[in-house]
Structure 1
Amino acid sequence: MKVIIADQINEKGIKELEDVADVVVNTSITQEELIEEIKDFDAIIVRSRTKVTRAVIEAAEKLKIIARAGVGVDNVDMAAATEKGIMVVNAPESTSITVAEHTMGLIMTLIRKISIADKSVKEGKWEKSKFMGIELNGKTLGIIGLGRIGTQVSIRAKAFGMEILVYDPYVTEEAGAEIGVRVVDLEYLLKNSDVMTIHVPLTPETKHLISKKEFEMMKENAFIVNCARGGIINEDDLYEALKNNIIGGAGLDVFETEPPKDSPLLTLDNIVVTPHIAASTKEAQRDAAIIVANEVKKVFTGEAPKNVLNMPVLDPETFHAIKPYLKLSEKLANFLIQAAKGNITEVNITYCGELADFPRVDVISRTILKETLNSILTEPVNMINAPTIAKNRGIVITESKRSEAEGYKSLIKIEIKSDEGELSIEGNATREPRIVRIDKYWVNVKPEGTMVIARYKDIPGSIGTIGTKLGEHGINIAKMQVGRQAPSEEAVMVLTVDQKVPVDVIDEIRALEHVYDAVYVQL
């Protein structure tokens, strides 16, 4: 077996591989050289410099695994790797402690005014009374997002004597209680936290999650820290909140634009900033190298790596049989997680018709869980650890099979139950992925693009009022599908539109007479 290490990694990772493989270290290799040489290698390890593009992957003849010695895999063409059956792995656990410690460092720097006191002393001043701080003991920490990093932060904060509040729509009160935190809604967390820290991914739902309204809910002397992703906090609103003493202070390791040149935030004394270094420690880099080296070793020795981001290795015949349903399951899961409301408690998957007899449908189930959980967590979820993560979050998973497919050769049915209700979707992939039923309503929708799904009373004029409302906001309807059971009863309409639909437009549609509900889905 032969491994190429294309970026600089810790020496301990290299030594881990030398007993099972011929290791070639070339940390200056160019894209053109890599395309030429990759055909000779069974594995490649990269960090962020090297781009494993489609061209590289297509040139690979023996490649079994692409390993990213870190968390993000933006430099790897995941789709191309999956299509070719090449595993992509990373080292998500390598940075959990490192980022948690940096978070606590920013908190301590803020509450004890360490950075500005340091600057003052270095300027020859001795302003003791100016830098009065506060203790963490007895204070309340609010954590937005209880993944690996959020959990590690909670452990450290409890050691400081803090009470912990958590806002995470996908963590139940019972799951929170098991680790000694209290799960609450966002408004309660904002109003009752002395310090707040963010550990969620940047998604359409979390972009500007903390803006003017949220700052006004916070305590006047509260602090906020973000070591997750830039854009979750509205920086313009944060500047106003800090400048006008609406909140006490902020600590940022990430920004909407990096580096944050000319940002007015950099002119303030009540903010501490670092250059996106929360994951940058020697230990994290060492651990990342060792973790991915061991993942490569497992593949070479016939074991299953645990941090696979795309899919397990399947034999060609099985992969060919289930491939259309893997794509369909991703679309159905993404649709459901965007359309469902509340904290998820159950995910029920049913394989109908010929699909019930397919080999390895467990891979499809894991794909559904992976897509569902990846939409709501910061750390990557893969098909190997998805069931465990779901269980740890109190989500019940059931899988069943049914011989009848109601007029189709095969169907997948996914039902999500939450504390606010239930939603189900069914799909078929005989020719191409299609959504064929939403709850009890039969439809025929290609799961792609921007969609508005509305439930309404099926009477004359209802469809027209919804279309008119979209037209008022310059949103063009490309396709429409209606599912109903009987006139004058509830029906469902799926509109594929040409533009993104703002949240306030969806709210206006919900407010229309005879409209029961509306949601926006981007696939």
Structure 2
Amino acid sequence: MRVLVADSINEKGIAELEKVAEVVVNTNITHEELLESIKDFDAIIVRSRTKVTREVIEAAPRLKIIARAGVGVDNIDVKAATEKGIMVINAPESTSITVAEHTMGLMLALARKIHLADKSVKEGRWEKSKFMGMELNNKTLGVIGMGRIGSQVVKRAKSFGMNVLVHDPYISRETADEMGVEIVDLEELLKKSDIITIHVPLTSETRYLISDRELDMMKDTAFIINCARGGIVDEEALYNALNEGRIGGAALDVFEEEPPKGSPLLKLNNVVLTPHIGASTVEAQRDAAIIVANEIKKVFEGGTPQNVLNMPVLDPETFKFLKPYIVLAEKLGSLVVQATPGKIENLEVTYCGELAEIPQQDILTRTILQSILNPILTEPVNLVNAPMIAEKRGMIVTEGKRSESGDYKSLIVLNVKSDKGEFSVEGTYIKEPKIVKINDYKVDIKPEGIMLIAKYKDLPGTIGAIGTKLGEHNINIAIMQVGRKEIGGEAVMVLKVDQEVPSTVLDEIKELENVYDIVAIELSH
């Protein structure tokens, strides 16, 4: 395996990678050079300088991983990577403490006017009375976003004796109580906070989250701090609010345009500006390099990385529970694609029983899609790109949950519709994968090897005729299962056979009296 390190990272990360791969360090590589050489690498590590564009990704047939030794992936075309089945990983935990500490530093700088006092002394003045500050103790801090960094800021703010309000739709009441914070809506947070700090990603929903309307809600003495991403705060609106005295001050480590050349904010005294250094500590850069190196090692050694941005990640306990059902999901997907005539247009997946209580079934659906799509496409399909490829092919995928699971602890139910017919199958795991229902007919068979699924009229002699026809072609039946709802009605028979069944033999069976259809399925052992 070969890894390209395209931006400077800590040497300890490189040392970890060299245990499993050939590492090429080229931290001055140009875009043109990258386009030419990326074809020879299995992984690339970048920070913020190198842009991994769609053009680069399309030129990288070997590439399996794009790693960002940091948090943001603005310089990586994640959509293009996902389409190609390339994992995009980062190191979010590496900067949590570092950015939280920088936030606290900016908070103190604003509260005690440290930036102005420093400038005054260096210019030969001694203006003690001019720099009257305020304590953080007993002030109210509003935290927008309670992820890794926001949570670390809260811990430090509590040690300063601050009261904390948080706005985050994903935080639970239990977590809030444990941390001693109050959950409020954004409007209440803006109105009540003495200091506001932002810790959310930049998305279409959070762009200009703080603009004229929100700034007008704040106290005229309030401070706002942004160490998250430029563009969350409307800088023009912020300048006007600061210039007109509608808020007390601001501190920014990130900007809409970096560097912020010509920004009117540069002229204001009630704003503290730093050059996107929130994550710039020796410890954070070391940890980021080691984290992404270990993630790449996991992939190269056949493991599952923890910080994949374009694939669901499971905690160890959940993975242990789901692991046998991942095997079952793979079998079910392979079965339905072979059993369903025509192009599959609709896939309905229902998780029943204990599986319905697990919040992370997405890995199972991805596994099913991967098994359905791989046999019919020339492009590689994996857990990363399976949902996107299904969508591009016009396949409608629906997930559902059902607490009832009959006689089983858990069930996976697939209902498939194509342009030529329908097919349904139900499976469970009892020490091994089991198919327990096909097209609503009960069966009990292990999904492996060569299987024949026949639809026929349940009349005397029909099963015998099918067996005789197979015998004529020296095809031995190992196991037979029959499912029916009523005597003399339609039935389903599943046969396990020891030899591959030619299509000509299947055609002969279809010509038999009272046989409606038969398909051959080949599953791995």
Class of the TM-score when normalised by the shorter of the 2 chains? 0.5 to 0.7
1:315-372 Cα shifts (integer Å, max 9, x gaps): 9x969969xx9xxxxxxxxxxxxxxxxxxxxxxx97259xx9xxx96326689xxxxx
| 1:255 and 2:255 correspond | yes
- Report the secondary structure of 1:310's partner residue: coil
**Hey, what does 2:362 align to over in structure 1?**
362
The residue type paired with residue 209 of structure 2 is L
**Hey, what does 2:453 align to over in structure 1?**
none
1:41 shift after superposition: 2.7
**Hey, what does 1:124 align to over in structure 2?**
124
- Report the secondary structure of 1:88's partner residue: strand
CA contact (8 A) 2:349 2:415 kept: no
**Hey, what does 1:133 align to over in structure 2?**
133
- Report the secondary structure of 2:232's partner residue: coil
Please give the alpha-carbon distance, in whole angstroms, between the structure 1 residues aligned to 2:195 and 2:207.
Answer: 20
- Percent identical among aligned pairs is 66
| 1:351 and 2:327 correspond | no
**Hey, what does 1:265 align to over in structure 2?**
265
1:374-426 Cα shifts (integer Å, max 9, x gaps): xxxxxxxx98xxxxxxxxxxxxx984555667999599xxxxxxxxxxxxxxx
* Structure-to-structure mapping, 1:343-492, within 5 angstroms: 351=349, 362-363=362-363, 399-400=401-402, 402=413, 409=422
**Hey, what does 2:502 align to over in structure 1?**
none
| 1:90 and 2:90 correspond | yes
* Structure-to-structure mapping, 1:98-247, within 5 angstroms: 98-247=98-247
CA contact (8 A) 1:71 1:90 kept: yes
- TM-score with structure 1 setting the length: 0.60
CA contact (8 A) 1:219 1:247 kept: yes
1:284-320 Cα shifts (integer Å, max 9, x gaps): 21111111110111112221111112237999x9699
In structure 2, relative to structure 1, the CA distance for the partners of 1:233 and 1:41 (3 Å cut) is: closer
**Hey, what does 1:78 align to over in structure 2?**
78
1:268-292 Cα shifts (integer Å, max 9, x gaps): 2211111222122222211111111
Please give the alpha-carbon distance, in whole angstroms, between the structure 1 residues aligned to 2:417 and 2:20.
Answer: 52
Please give the alpha-carbon distance, in whole angstroms, between the structure 2 residues aligned to 1:120 and 1:126.
Answer: 7
Please give the alpha-carbon distance, in whole angstroms, between the structure 2 residues aligned to 1:410 and 1:244.
Answer: 67
Please give the alpha-carbon distance, in whole angstroms, between the structure 2 residues aligned to 1:39 and 1:281.
Answer: 33
In structure 2, relative to structure 1, the CA distance for the partners of 1:172 and 1:398 (3 Å cut) is: farther
- Report the secondary structure of 2:279's partner residue: coil
* Greater alpha carbon shift after TM alignment, 275-284 vs 306-315: 306-315
Higher Cα radius of gyration: 2
Please give the alpha-carbon distance, in whole angstroms, between the structure 2 residues aligned to 1:59 and 1:213.
Answer: 46
Please give the alpha-carbon distance, in whole angstroms, between the structure 2 residues aligned to 1:185 and 1:142.
Answer: 11
Please give the alpha-carbon distance, in whole angstroms, between the structure 2 residues aligned to 1:205 and 1:319.
Answer: 39
Please give the alpha-carbon distance, in whole angstroms, between the structure 1 residues aligned to 2:182 and 2:4.
Answer: 47
Please give the alpha-carbon distance, in whole angstroms, between the structure 1 residues aligned to 2:183 and 2:97.
Answer: 22
Please give the alpha-carbon distance, in whole angstroms, between the structure 2 residues aligned to 1:55 and 1:208.
Answer: 30
CA contact (8 A) 2:7 2:46 kept: yes
| 1:27 and 2:15 correspond | no
The residue type paired with residue 212 of structure 1 is D
1:449-504 Cα shifts (integer Å, max 9, x gaps): xxxxxxxxxxxxxxxxxxxxxxxxxxxxxxxxxxxxxxxxxxxxxxxxxxxxxxxx
1:180-210 Cα shifts (integer Å, max 9, x gaps): 2110112221222111111122333323322
**Hey, what does 1:496 align to over in structure 2?**
none
- Report the secondary structure of 2:154's partner residue: helix
Please give the alpha-carbon distance, in whole angstroms, between the structure 2 residues aligned to 1:320 and 1:406.
Answer: 15
- TM-score with structure 2 setting the length: 0.60
In structure 2, relative to structure 1, the CA distance for the partners of 1:202 and 1:76 (3 Å cut) is: closer
Please give the alpha-carbon distance, in whole angstroms, between the structure 2 residues aligned to 1:318 and 1:35.
Answer: 36
CA contact (8 A) 1:87 1:312 kept: no
In structure 2, relative to structure 1, the CA distance for the partners of 1:410 and 1:107 (3 Å cut) is: farther
Please give the alpha-carbon distance, in whole angstroms, between the structure 1 residues aligned to 2:423 and 2:222.
Answer: 55
In structure 2, relative to structure 1, the CA distance for the partners of 1:282 and 1:320 (3 Å cut) is: farther
Q: Number of matched residues?
A: 353
In structure 2, relative to structure 1, the CA distance for the partners of 1:64 and 1:173 (3 Å cut) is: same
CA contact (8 A) 1:226 1:252 kept: yes
**Hey, what does 1:293 align to over in structure 2?**
293
Please give the alpha-carbon distance, in whole angstroms, between the structure 2 residues aligned to 1:157 and 1:84.
Answer: 43
Please give the alpha-carbon distance, in whole angstroms, between the structure 1 residues aligned to 2:298 and 2:273.
Answer: 40
The residue type paired with residue 180 of structure 1 is G
* Structure-to-structure mapping, 1:284-323, within 5 angstroms: 284-311=284-311
In structure 2, relative to structure 1, the CA distance for the partners of 1:120 and 1:13 (3 Å cut) is: same
Unaligned runs of 5+ in 2: 314-325, 338-346, 368-382, 385-398, 403-411, 425-525
Unaligned runs of 5+ in 1: 326-348, 368-381, 384-396, 412-523
- Report the secondary structure of 2:311's partner residue: coil
CA RMSD of aligned residues (A): 3.6
**Hey, what does 1:53 align to over in structure 2?**
53
CA contact (8 A) 2:45 2:69 kept: yes
- Report the secondary structure of 2:209's partner residue: coil
CA contact (8 A) 2:14 2:293 kept: yes
The residue type paired with residue 21 of structure 1 is A
1:75-131 Cα shifts (integer Å, max 9, x gaps): 333333333332221112222111111111110000000000011111111110111
**Hey, what does 2:4 align to over in structure 1?**
4
CA contact (8 A) 1:46 1:69 kept: yes
Please give the alpha-carbon distance, in whole angstroms, between the structure 2 residues aligned to 1:266 and 1:18.
Answer: 45
CA contact (8 A) 1:190 1:217 kept: yes
**Hey, what does 2:512 align to over in structure 1?**
none
1:11 shift after superposition: 0.7
Please give the alpha-carbon distance, in whole angstroms, between the structure 1 residues aligned to 2:157 and 2:237.
Answer: 27
The residue type paired with residue 18 of structure 1 is E
The residue type paired with residue 80 of structure 1 is A
In structure 2, relative to structure 1, the CA distance for the partners of 1:30 and 1:190 (3 Å cut) is: closer
- Report the secondary structure of 1:121's partner residue: helix
CA contact (8 A) 1:351 1:410 kept: no
In structure 2, relative to structure 1, the CA distance for the partners of 1:409 and 1:222 (3 Å cut) is: farther
The residue type paired with residue 291 of structure 2 is I
CA contact (8 A) 1:352 1:405 kept: no
1:139-180 Cα shifts (integer Å, max 9, x gaps): 111101111111111011011111110011232333321222
In structure 2, relative to structure 1, the CA distance for the partners of 1:49 and 1:233 (3 Å cut) is: closer
The residue type paired with residue 214 of structure 2 is E
